[in-house]
Structure 1
């Protein structure tokens, strides 16, 4: 069962399920920062490259199963599956929202 998510996060998850890069970018603020495996990606251009190289290329789809608010962040947990070593892997996403946009996203395994 998919947990109830704030609109921008739900839009990101739904776009990821379709592997749609343009739709994945849409809910992010123009100056958003995403961190994954110790690497940071800032702004839509860097996010697009990261999504294309690290998500689309291996068909990595994140399926959330829990969500909670923690210290002002939305914390979403679930598994990602795709054409990558160790698939599926459980991940935790930490989101900061600003208005109707994702301002930061940090992914940990």
Structure 2
């Protein structure tokens, strides 16, 4: 059950807010440091295992496009599970995308991240 939705970004755990800041700045080196060594990331159905593979994902993702990113929602599911919704607008096919970033935390790192289309 969602305990708090539409959280401000400053109320997110520092691990998530730090990752998002680095990710939005296209800083894959910093973004990947927020993941456990054996973390898993799933982006649009493709699975990446381990910090190195996740680094490569964020290094290469969307580099062929120009876009802006805005956080439009956030929810705390429980102490270890959070969902942040980002809206991307740019020159990629469709021009607009709303994506849910579903985080599973392990202590102070991201153990799993699932990125999928936002369900309206």
Whether TM-score is above 0.5 comes out as: yes
Structure showing greater Rg: 2
Q: Which residue of 1 aligns with 2:18?
A: 11
Question: What is the CA–CA distance in structure 2 between the aligned matches of 1:11 and 1:18, rounded to whole Å?
Answer: 11
Deviates more, 1:90-99 or 1:44-53: 44-53
- 1:58 aligned to 2:65? yes
Runs of 5+ unmatched residues, structure 2: 1-6
Give unmatched runs, 5+ long, in structure 1. none
CA RMSD of aligned residues (A): 2.1
CA apart distance, 1:51: 1.3
Which shows bigger deviation, 85-94 or 75-84?
A: 75-84
SS at match of 1:58: coil
Aligned residues: 109
Q: Secondary structure at the match of 2:52?
A: helix
Determine if the alignment matches structure 1 residue 79 to structure 2 residue 75: no
TM-score by length of 2: 0.78
Q: 1:56 to 1:25 in 2, by over 3 A?
A: farther
Given that residues 80 and 88 in structure 1 are in contact (C-alpha distance below 8 angstroms), is that contact kept between their aligned partners in structure 2? yes
